Amino acid sequence: MSAPDGLLLIDKPPALTSHEVVQRVRRALKTRQAGHTGTLDPLATGLLVVCLGQATRLSEYLLGHDKRYRAAIRLGVETDTYDADGQVTATRPVTVKRDEVEAALARFVGEIDQVPSMYSAIKIDGKKLYDLARAGQAVDRPARSITIYAIEVIDFTAPDLIIDLHCSAGTYIRSLAHDVGAALGTGAHVTALRRTAAGPFGLDQAIGLAEFEAAVVDGNWPAYLKPADTALADWPSITLDAAQRQRAVTGGRIEGLNVIGARARAYDEQGRLVALLVFDQKKRWWRADKVLINVQ
């Protein structure tokens, strides 16, 4: 059974993987056309963007959205997974003051290189790191460039620290906590994590998983479905005439568009999202990067 096209904003409960949340959405809607746009660890809660139907074809664009989190971090204790689900590997006394914590956090704001935990889904030579870790293998992990836009200390009552942060896609909050603990000389791990925003979407727009499942039974769940193009609201938009629309869906070149930038959402004259366009800098014309003729 095909699913309606659009986005569901689910408030992920704890103890479930992101894949398990998507599986429950699929079962509730009796469809296979569903996927998420950014993994949350089982320990984590909060905003999980789920694509349905033709919107699944947009997931590659949505994965790059910036994220916001609230994280609870315990200083003085390290674990092998860098979070509370792991085994304790070291303990140290915590004597640092709030100003020292804030100074350490400030060193991580900006573009930094981050080494992911062994307990992450990144693949090395085709194998996921957490599978290797569970098999008792440790391998070198290349550092990845990420950006931390802002970190705010919400509370610090030693040894527990609560922060809000705004970061680029691909940031591992567990690794950040581990690195901050190393910088302070105390060690640290994440005890709770909640994603509060992803791109243009906030947690206040999300529905709980159980509440969504109940809405499916009641038949009013479509009220929570957002148009797929709301996730690309920062892209400029253009309306194509009939001839331009035909060239877009057949992969032809499109010229004479009054668009600033190198990418755009293209709609037909009925207001339907037809394609995502990119500008070929060398050839100086536009073409469809993704045809989405069925996305509403």
Cα–Cα dist 12/36, whole Å: 11
**Could you give the 3-state DSSP secondary structure of residue 288?**
strand
**How far apart (Å, rounded) are the C-alpha atoms in residues 38 and 53?**
17
Measure the CA–CA gap between 165 and 152, rounded to whole angstroms: 6
Q: For residues 263 and 276, what is the distance between their CA atoms, to the nearest angstrom?
A: 7
CB 86 within 8 A of CB 80: yes
Q: Are 248 and 278 in contact (CB under 8 A)?
A: no
Q: Assess contact for 141 and 125: CB atoms under 8 A.
A: no
**What tokens does 190 get?**
């994440």
φ/ψ (deg, to 5) at 125: 50, 40
Asked whether the bond before 13 is cis by omega within 30 degrees of 0, the reply is no
Burial class (CB in 10 A: 0-12, 13-18, 19+), 128: middle
Q: For this structure, is 280 an active site residue?
A: no
Q: Which of 5, 11, 41, 83 is catalytic?
A: 41
Vertex 202: Cα angle to 65 and 104 (nearest 5): 70
Task: Catalogue the active-site residues.
Answer: 41
